[in-house]
Amino acid sequence: MLPRKSSATSTLPTAPICLARFASRSRTLAWLLTALLAGTVTVAEAAPRKTSAKGKSPSRSGAKAKAGGESHSGSEAEAIAGSKIALLEFRGDNVDLIRGQVIKVLKTKVREVSINVRPADSTEQYRDMGAAMNLALYVQGHIKDMSKDQAVLTIDLRSGVSGRKLTTVKFTGNRRKLYADAEDELWKKIEKPFGRACLEATRAVRHHNAPLRIDAGDPLDDISARSSL
């Protein structure tokens, strides 16, 4: 009968095998961990490049928007320089000096300023007159004395295409100050709506009502001459 092997002796050969398997798995895990970390670093490094690529688009779009704005401003400047406007009568007392200053300012901006146009009675009449005279807009003023030393100067802009009022600007002070404001500050306040109106006038298709014709029959002198025959 063969001697029985002890259990301690039978388990000894399996220990190196387990250690070898554990070491192999550890190396595999370490390799996977290294690969994962390497992939993470690669993605993290690539992400800023993608972001920076995207970051260029707003600057490009901003440059395009700026170029478009400059082009639009240039178009308005050209429209202003080629426009014809009407400066209507100013209402109020002693308005000739300030009106003359406004004429002086506007003549340096536009092609022609008509100063003998009478105010119309309605929006439709302003529209028709603007079409007939090829006006970009109307400028009208009003000076109202508030006290002995204070007055208010009101300037209205009206479209020569639609006949509607576009904007109103006001200046307050004594007459000397109003004269200076008309020279130094007026154009700064009206330039943008002025330019838009002139640009609109270059693109608009003008229509105005034809003069009303009435057939009243024969003149009275002809009728009396025929009855005497």
Segment 181-227, tens digit of pLDDT? 999 999 999 999 999 999 999 998 776 665 544 444 555 455 455 55
User: Considering only 64-78, 79-93, 124-138, 157-171, which range has the smallest mean pLDDT?
Assistant: 64-78
Answer whether residue 3 is part of any domain.
no
What is the C-alpha to C-alpha distance for residues 170 and 156, in angstroms, rounded to an integer?
9
- The pLDDT assigned to 192 comes to 95
In the predicted structure, residue 62 carries a pLDDT above the cut 70: no
Answer whether residue 101 is part of any domain.
yes
Give residue 187's Cα distance to chain centre: 18
Local structure of residue 53 (DSSP, 8 states): H
Query: Confidence band (pLDDT; 50, 70, 90) for 149?
Result: confident
Residues 94-123 have pLDDT tens digits of 999 999 999 999 999 999 999 999 999 999
Kindly state the average pLDDT of the residues 125-150.
94
User: Is this structure's pTM higher than 0.85?
Assistant: no
Answer whether residue 107 is part of any domain.
yes
User: What domain range includes position 122?
Assistant: 85-203
Compute φ and ψ for 89, nearest 5 degrees: -65, 145
Between these two residues, 225 and 154, which has the higher pLDDT value?
154
Answer whether residue 174 is part of any domain.
yes
Answer whether residue 60 is part of any domain.
no
Residues 27-48 have pLDDT tens digits of 656 655 555 555 544 444 444 4
Answer whether residue 181 is part of any domain.
yes
**Any idea what the CATH number is for the domain that residue 196 is in?**
3.40.50.10070
Answer whether residue 182 is part of any domain.
yes
8 Å CB contact between 156 and 165: yes
Domain total of the chain: 1
Kindly state the average pLDDT of the residues 4-29.
53
Answer whether residue 225 is part of any domain.
no
